[in-house]
Amino acid sequence: MSVFCRLFGHTWIPETRVPTVRWNTTKEGHTLAPTVGEEQVRHLEVCRRCGAERESGPRRHDADRPAVAVPVNGSEAEEEE
């Protein structure tokens, strides 16, 4: 905790951390396929002075986040059928 946080209190700023998307090629090496990380969406409040974090809890539309589907074997022919 910084001196300013002790004197004046924390300055809380809302922050959202979402899973990262990694782009990998299929087995043929011609098409990029997105892979979304397994971690959940996190809503935090972060103090801009000292970096302290506290959880804010889930928001209303977190379950509406689209999931990216990637074929298991990497074949493009199965996606079109």
Task: Give residue-wise pLDDT tens across range 21-76.
Answer: 888 888 887 888 888 777 777 888 999 989 899 887 666 665 555 555 555 555 55
Residue-level pLDDT at 81: 47
**CB 41: neighbour CB atoms within 10 A?**
14
Of 68, 65, 64, 79, nearest to 34 by C-alpha is 68
Answer whether 53's CB lies under 8 Å from 45's CB: yes
Of 46, 40, 73, nearest to 58 by C-alpha is 40
Residue-level pLDDT at 17: 83
Name which residue leads in pLDDT, 26 or 78. 26
Task: Give residue-wise pLDDT tens across range 3-23.
Answer: 888 888 999 998 888 878 888
Residue-level pLDDT at 47: 92
Answer whether 54's CB lies under 8 Å from 45's CB: yes
Residue 31 carries which side chain, given as an amino acid letter?
T
